[in-house]
Structure 1
Amino acid sequence: MDMIRVGIDLAKNVFQVHGIDRSEKAVWRRKLSRSEWLEVLQQTVPLHAEIGMEACGSAHHWARRLQALGYTVKLIAPQFVKPYVKSNKNDANDAEAICEAMSRPAMRFVAVKTIEQQDVQAVHRVRSGLMEQRNAKANQIRGLTSEYGVVAPREIAQLRRAVPVWLEDINCGLSDRFRRLLVGLWEDLRSLDDRIHELDREIMEIAASDPVARRLQQLRGVGPMVATALIATVGNAKQFANGRQMAASLGLTPKQNSSGGKERLLGISKRGDAYVRCLLIHGARAMIQMARRRTDALSVWVMCIAGKRHPNVAAVALANKTARIAWAMITRGTDYQPEPSAC
């Protein structure tokens, strides 16, 4: 069998493969178990064949394994595979759709992440999860204490100062049983704070040791958090032809609904990694606050937008520009140049 393309539908224990030859005829359809599929694939598929998979869970791991064996691997976003699924959805049809999608000349592929990228991304994901748990714990404390007539402050920093005061005040209306419960909730909250601070220190160490992250922090509105998250997501950014493509992949460009030659631009598309987009926009908001007291070209540019449009529009516009500048700095290995960035 002279296969040129193989589509693989990944799962936890079962892998469906679909291979075609040079005449675009299906020559290999098979369902393989997790323990045998790599060995069977090596015995059946020639090294010159391209292998395609959806960019889903474990895809980057298997892509690295296949690349180590000498294969060319292409990862495709699931939303780009879906239009090629024929009839009912099942593993065999999914594998065939992947094989068909990877043959399209204009198809966009996902870059395979390195182990280092996944390590940094894992740190951010764990920290994000802990932040959600901490917010949930703080809201639980607020909700429970309100039933005893004790109103908790909105900011978590003030809540940290308020809880010890409530525990010491015997006249605040809390019963002895609830005080014991509150002590446990307070310890949970402090434990989450400690874990988040530990991960913050680790992110600072990663940002200090990575030369690309250090250069990205020259950008205003980009600190260790944004720099490391951006590197974990885009890597060397070579998969993007220009900065606009990278900004579009992060959902920072307008969504279109154009027809009949009439262009209609909507809000941002919000595609791609929502976590990185959120960090970039928050960094832009912080930069805008400082830009009010500055007179450089970039500050004047963003304040001109903020004066005419909603502040959120200005923040997104600045985040878009930051992503484009970051692409240039990553791909060209250059430092931040303030004057060209203001154009």
Structure 2
Amino acid sequence: MGESITFVGLDVHKATIAVCVAEAGRDGEVRYVGEIPNEPGALDKLAARLGRGGRTPRFAYEAGPCGYGVYRHLRRRGHDCVVVAPNLIPRKSGERIKTDRRDATALARLHRAGELTPVWVPEPEHEAMRDLVRARADMVEALGKARQRLQGFLLRHGRAYDGKRWTWPHRKWLMEQTFSQPAQQVACQEYLDAVNELEARIERLTGRIRDLVPAWSMAPVVEALQAMRGVSLIVASALVAEVGDFTRFDNPRQLMAYLGLVPSEHSSGAKRRQGGITKAGSSLARRMLVEGAWTYRLPARISAQMRPRLAGLPREVRDVAWKAQVRLCARYRRLQAIGKRPQVVVTAIAREMVGFAWAIARMVTPPVRTA
């Protein structure tokens, strides 16, 4: 007698989980079980109930704000569970009704049909580093907004700085600004304090990343990626934290697509039209790569800043990094010479950086565990 499999769709929310089951087979029953509390005990009872009679439940739910707690709990209990990519779930174009019951039913049916795309679930240590890197990125974004607010306030009152901003002379000028109205003086000081506080937070988070990376299981990958030009400690940490296990990509083109750096395409018949990049995947990793790509506008060389990062790395890693620098610097100048816009050039360079990063990471990637 063959194994009896039950495919379970879970629509996970903060307090509740909507459950639907689909029996194995094309014409098997698809039924809505109901809602259970989002608690470990309730999940254990559900799994025991669905496993009666020798049946094997296979769970699936969408990646979302509730994280991987349900996945990790079910896996610890020995159950099969996958977390699926929400943007890759097939949907009917004319469907305008969305409920928890419908979502759970669709997950169960599509899981049975094998049409769901699982995401890679990091181990808790890896997820912790990802949270730290993202926290720093959030502070950088908040700092940019705080600076804009300060500059906007000063501009409204006719105060404009002509030199390079956020240098020591600029900061000295900011601290010297005075207003006749006490309320405006207070407002200016609060805007300036907000900028200073966010800069201090970013410095602290950068220090914590620098301290914690050596103890991370992915530290060899982070160190090796810094052999590339434009890939500092923060860029390498962000890329590794967002991508995770580089060995799960069979070729660099898959990684480029995963990071949303490949052109979109709409082709029909004899017509083939490519558009802007897809911007799928992690926006943080993509932004870091594009920022690093700007460094290739200068001639290829090993700078004094890069020499300490290269010390102690395997010869093959340094060779690939130098090959990348020579090729990408030349490609930057070539694309620029034929009149490509700067944004298009750096995006193309960032895409090729991913290929070299993939090659380097696979040379030194340690075995990566999932949660």
Classify the TM-score, shorter chain. Answer: 0.7 to 0.9
Match of 1:155 among 165, 170, 173: 165
Q: How much identity, in percent, do the aligned residues show?
A: 24
Distance 1:31 1:238, change over 3 A: farther
Larger CA deviation: 113-122 vs 188-197: 113-122
Query: How do 1:1-343 and structure 2 match up within 5 A?
Result: 2-23=4-25, 24-26=28-30, 29-35=33-39, 36-46=41-51, 48-81=56-89, 83=91, 88-105=97-114, 107-152=116-161, 155-157=165-167, 159-167=170-178, 174-209=180-215, 210-291=219-300, 296-308=326-338, 309-333=340-364
Larger CA deviation: 214-223 vs 180-189: 180-189
Name the aligned partner's letter for residue 177 of structure 2.
Answer: W
Distance 1:48 1:326, change over 3 A: farther
Shift of 1:165: 2.2
Gaps of 5+ in 2: 303-321, 366-371
Name the aligned partner's letter for residue 299 of structure 1.
Answer: C
Shift of 1:302: 3.4
Distance 1:226 1:34, change over 3 A: same
Kept in 2: contact 1:80–1:101 (CA 8 A): no
Mapped to 2, the partners of 1:2 and 1:331 lie a distance apart of 39
Shift of 1:40: 1.9
Mapped to 2, the partners of 1:50 and 1:328 lie a distance apart of 35
TM-score (ref. length: structure 2): 0.79
CA offset digits 1:210-246 (Å, max 9, x no partner): 1111111112221112211111112113443321111
CA offset digits 1:253-287 (Å, max 9, x no partner): 01000011432211211111111111101101123
Distance 1:3 1:20, change over 3 A: farther
Shift of 1:56: 1.0
Distance 1:314 1:104, change over 3 A: farther
Kept in 2: contact 1:251–1:269 (CA 8 A): yes
Distance 1:56 1:321, change over 3 A: same
- Give the superposed CA RMSD: 2.9
Mapped to 2, the partners of 1:205 and 1:183 lie a distance apart of 33
Mapped to 2, the partners of 1:316 and 1:25 lie a distance apart of 48
Name the aligned partner's letter for residue 17 of structure 1.
Answer: V
Kept in 2: contact 1:250–1:276 (CA 8 A): yes
Kept in 1: contact 2:8–2:60 (CA 8 A): yes
Larger CA deviation: 190-199 vs 132-141: 132-141
TM-score (ref. length: structure 1): 0.85
Kept in 2: contact 1:6–1:17 (CA 8 A): yes
Mapped to 1, the partners of 2:104 and 2:148 lie a distance apart of 45
Shift of 1:178: 2.6
3-state SS of 1:241 partner? coil
Larger CA deviation: 268-277 vs 291-300: 291-300
Kept in 1: contact 2:32–2:105 (CA 8 A): no
Mapped to 1, the partners of 2:293 and 2:209 lie a distance apart of 20
Shift of 1:208: 4.4
Distance 1:44 1:234, change over 3 A: farther
Name the aligned partner's letter for residue 61 of structure 1.
Answer: G
Distance 1:68 1:84, change over 3 A: farther
Kept in 2: contact 1:74–1:102 (CA 8 A): no
Distance 1:79 1:130, change over 3 A: same
Kept in 2: contact 1:127–1:199 (CA 8 A): yes
3-state SS of 1:131 partner? helix
Gaps of 5+ in 1: 168-172, 335-343
CA offset digits 1:120-177 (Å, max 9, x no partner): 222222222222332232222222233433224673335423212225xxxxx54344
